[in-house]
A and B are shown apart, each in its own frame.
Chain A
Amino acid sequence: MTVLAADGASSSPLHFVEYFLDHRSEDLGLLWSHTWLSVVPVIVGLLIALPLGWVARRHRWTYPPIMSITGVLYTIPSIALFVLVPPILGLDTLDPLQVPIALTVYSVALLVRVVADGLASVPDETVQAATALGFRPLERFFKVELPIAVPVIAAGLRVAVVSNVSIVAVAGTIGLSNLGQLFTQGFQLSTPDAYYPPIVLGIVLCVLLAVVLDSLVVLLNRLLTPWRRAVAT
């Protein structure tokens, strides 16, 4: 095995598995930090977006300003947001928190819209019926409105996690340790001759991660909305 890896033949794109096995602990570390960076900002983002989306829905006059501000934030390209977060928040120029904060900003910007739209998809009669049954506003929100909004919110979460996996790789190009570093390694090792294994490995791991996280959200959506399956059949 070691002989094969030291061989020139291992530059073939299909040798990414051997590359992985040769650098297993390092690559698993990159995968782990990539996963962490893709998931945590979405969860934090959802926790911030829920009250904001609720306010935007509840108090109509707040809807346009909340949507415009978060829309502008969502418009700023990721790499620009990475470098802009530290000076705006007064952090060090290469603070380890800059990327998680920027990703959280994106998640909030996307999910606020999704939460507000999801709550808007709850039929008025349902809300009225819940009120008539004696639900207090907060109880009604968590037990009636939020569960009904879950499918729309889940659609937004899927987009958020999948695009995060790709954006985190961008952060790798400015030196953060995640799967994006495999692309930098491959690029640097590719002079003068192309050396594919780290590049292919990075793409494969990123796609796998995106697919797994996406499936988890789909699964969660199904678990949280058992009544939809009952109606669908």
Chain B
Amino acid sequence: MEERIELDIRVPNSTCYLGMIGHIGEAMARTLRDYHGDREELAYHLNLVLTEATANAMKHGRSQIPETPLRITITVAGNCLVIRVFDQGRGFDFAALPCQDEHNLPEHGRGLFIIRTLMDRVCYRKSNGGHVLEMEKKLD
């Protein structure tokens, strides 16, 4: 039978929870029943993607109501893993990615580059009055 996992997480909008969210991704990579790739590499990548996306939502997606928790879902269905990070703020310009310029050396803007590099499909769209960053990875 196809492996199915659904996690629906709500955390306060504070960076002190980033480590916990990242560790959930690591634990999932080490637990997946049907994954035959490098589990430690997948664990690091899921930790990283969850940390980047959550930190981004905390920074750019803050609700008008500060107490509003941040919602993150992680779903595995067979060989497809989908992470969704929801925000209730004004969002950000997903298309405006700074280039990785070695000479100009920007201090910001590498988070989405990292997510796009490590995941197979990434999109950012409106959802229920806010936005969702949706990231998919094939677990081959």
Bound together: no
Interfacial residues, chain A to chain B (CB-CB below 8 A): none
